[in-house]
Amino acid sequence: MRRTVSCLLVLLLLGCGCFAVSAAEDEPHTHIFGAWYTVTSPTCTEPGEEQRMCEVCEAVETNEIEPSGHKWSNWEETLAPTCTEAGEEHRTCEVCEAVETNEIEPSGHKWSDWEETLAPTCTEAGKEQRTCEVCGAVETRAIEPGHQWGDWEQTLAPTCTEAGEEQRTCEVCEAVETRAIEPGHQWGDWYAVTEPACSAPGENRRDCARCGAAETAVLPVLGHLWVTDPAVPATCTTEGKTEGIHCSRCGAVLSGHRQATLKPLGHAVLDENGDCVLCGAHVKDLCPYCHRDHTAQLFGRLIAWFHQIFYRIRLRFQ
């Protein structure tokens, strides 16, 4: 019995140990990498390789090392350029001894100054040349011929309608060249013959000092400058005016806007003191229609009464 219990305990402990190992293997693992070490060294043109290892599980991680690139020497001339031919230079990698070449542009000619070798004449071309101070090459070019003309001199004076003529002479070969002088009037300044008006054009004129011919030009119509004439109200004793529009330049009146004269209003019905109820003037017994005193006239009261009626009618229809 005691032996059986001991066996069961041993089996139980072994089972627990296996469970613990299985559980530990199932847990996630974080790598602990060591330092990088070079596996393959890079060259000037080829990449290398480096690795590092996990200190726990010995997993390996790989990384590429960039090529180191050439370490070039200074350029050295291997073929000197000439005036017209390219030269050559090269440089060498101090690591792998690779060689790179480059073309050197031709130096070009180093020309002397131009020298005349054949003098030109008035009608025949000359020649000049220059020489390269390095290779002795020669370049030539033509010198254009040409007359050495004197000043133009008039030989026939132009008129207003006929061309004239002038000429010049070559100081070397005495060749003569002529050309026409254009005809034309010698016009004076413009002056006004007729000044332009609001509704009519004007005229300018200029005269030729040589032949007396005249040239005219039309001056455009000015057009009216309209201004408004304000209305003036009539008073008891003075005339008034309606509003109008007229031209300040020529005095023309705009159609339908002529200023009309208004007759004096005359004194209105007088109050008990004989004063005008419109302007307040003291007119006493004067008639507002005819501005006379009817008191001393035969039938003066009747005349004054009729005049009062006529005055009121006039006021209504004014």
Query: What is the per-residue pLDDT for 271?
Result: 62
Q: Which of 130-144, 249-263, 302-316 has the lowest mean pLDDT?
A: 302-316
Q: pTM for this structure?
A: 0.41
Q: What is the pLDDT of residues 116-133, one digit of tens each?
A: 999 999 999 999 999 999
Query: What is the per-residue pLDDT for 8?
Result: 47
* DSSP line for the chain: -HHHHHHHHHHHHHHHHHHHHHHHHHS-----B---EEEE---SSS-EEEEEEBTTT--EEEEEEPP----B---EEEE---SSS-EEEEEEBTTT--EEEEEEPP----B---EEEE---SSS-EEEEEEBTTT--EEEEEE-----B---EEEE---SSS-EEEEEEBTTT--EEEEEE-----B---EEEE---SSS-EEEEEEBTTT--EEEEEEPP----EEEE--B---SSS-EE--EEEETTT-PBPTT-PPPEEPP-----B-TTSBBTTT--B-TTB-TTT--B-TTSTTHHHHHHHHHHHHHHHHHH-
Q: What is the pLDDT of residues 4-14, one digit of tens each?
A: 444 444 444 44
Q: What is the pLDDT of residues 231-283, one digit of tens each?
A: 999 888 888 999 999 999 999 999 999 999 998 877 666 666 667 777 777 66
Query: What is the per-residue pLDDT for 110?
Result: 94
Stretch 91-100: mean pLDDT:
92
Query: What is the per-residue pLDDT for 318?
Result: 63
Q: Which of 62-76, 135-149, 215-229, 273-287 has the lowest mean pLDDT?
A: 273-287
pLDDT at 17 over 60: no
- Sorted by where each begins, the domain ranges of the chain are 224-264, 265-318
Query: What is the per-residue pLDDT for 10?
Result: 41
Stretch 181-203: mean pLDDT:
94
Given pLDDT bands bounded at 50, 70 and 90, which one contains residue 82? very high
Given pLDDT bands bounded at 50, 70 and 90, which one contains residue 284? low
